Chain A
Amino acid sequence: MANKPRVKLPKSAKAGEIVQIKTLASHDMETGNRKDKKGNKIPRLILNKFSCSFKGEELFGATMHPSVSANPYIAFSITAKESGTYDFTWTDDNGEVTKVSQDMSVS
């Protein structure tokens, strides 16, 4: 990916609080249906998987198809339980994985 994906997650939360997490990747999401100026098909290259896990356990994930817009935006919510690191991954059609991690403290 050209630029690192960005994640919005509060630095801290109260135990039991429902927290919204927003993610924004930077990717063209080439559909495979477009042609270049010479009329050749531009091969498909998209991010097809997204995952958010906490301490090795997947809390939320998504499977993406070419109809997801460029620079995929995914927002969802979790319940804050304990302090720790949230790991976010995006996987493209070539199997390349981009990872971002962010901490949240829970009191």
Chain B
Amino acid sequence: SPEAAAEALAKLSGGAAAATSDKITISLPEIAENGATVPVGITVDSPMTAASYVKQIHVFAEGNPSPETITFNLTPTGTADVNTRIRLSKTQNVLVAAVMNDGSVLTNKKEVKVTIGGCGG
């Protein structure tokens, strides 16, 4: 549920409100082709140096029985650019939280529609 996802997010930021940020880009289809395997890509704008990097990227599915889907643990290397495929049981928001090395938390979200399908032009 959105409440469970919000609770999980609050735990990450120690109760402080996490800032919604366009530094996080979420790549998800507007309409899922197959709810069993929905490709998700996340990039966070960060230099990824020892001084400033993304430590964790959490992905929450608000509408799933349990919101946690995957947590990526990063180190100061490459770019903060991760991809995976997740299960989405119905139309819902996918919430992403990035925990920075200084402990601050950024979030962003995107809605994915899961539909019955059929028909076309």
Q: Are B77 and A78 in contact (CB under 8 A)?
A: yes
Return A24 CB to nearest CB of chain B, in Å. 10
Q: Are B73 and A18 in contact (CB under 8 A)?
A: no
Interface segment, one of A35-43, A67-75, A96-104: A67-75
Helix, strand, loop or mixed for chain B's interface? strand
Interface segment, one of B13-21, B79-87, B96-104, B106-114: B79-87
Inter-chain contacts of A31 with B (CB < 8 A): 87
Q: Does B115 contact A (CB under 8 A)?
A: no
Q: Are A75 and B83 in contact (CB under 8 A)?
A: yes
Q: Does B71 contact A (CB under 8 A)?
A: yes
- Please list the residues of chain A having a beta carbon within 8 angstroms of any beta carbon in chain B: 18-20, 22, 31, 33, 58-70, 72-79
- Tell me the complex Cα distance, A75–B43, Å: 12
- Tell me the complex Cα distance, A33–B89, Å: 12
- Could you say which of B69, B72, B81 contacts A67, with CB atoms under 8 Å apart? B69
Return B5 CB to nearest CB of chain A, in Å. 12
- Tell me the complex Cα distance, A46–B71, Å: 15
Q: Are A74 and B84 in contact (CB under 8 A)?
A: yes
Q: Are B69 and A68 in contact (CB under 8 A)?
A: yes
Q: Does B75 contact A (CB under 8 A)?
A: yes
Q: Are B85 and A73 in contact (CB under 8 A)?
A: yes
Return B101 CB to nearest CB of chain A, in Å. 15
Inter-chain contacts of B52 with A (CB < 8 A): none
- Could you say which of A22, A59, A72, A73 contacts B75, with CB atoms under 8 Å apart? A59
Q: Are B85 and A79 in contact (CB under 8 A)?
A: no
Q: Are A59 and B72 in contact (CB under 8 A)?
A: no
Q: Are B73 and A61 in contact (CB under 8 A)?
A: yes
Q: Does B6 contact A (CB under 8 A)?
A: no
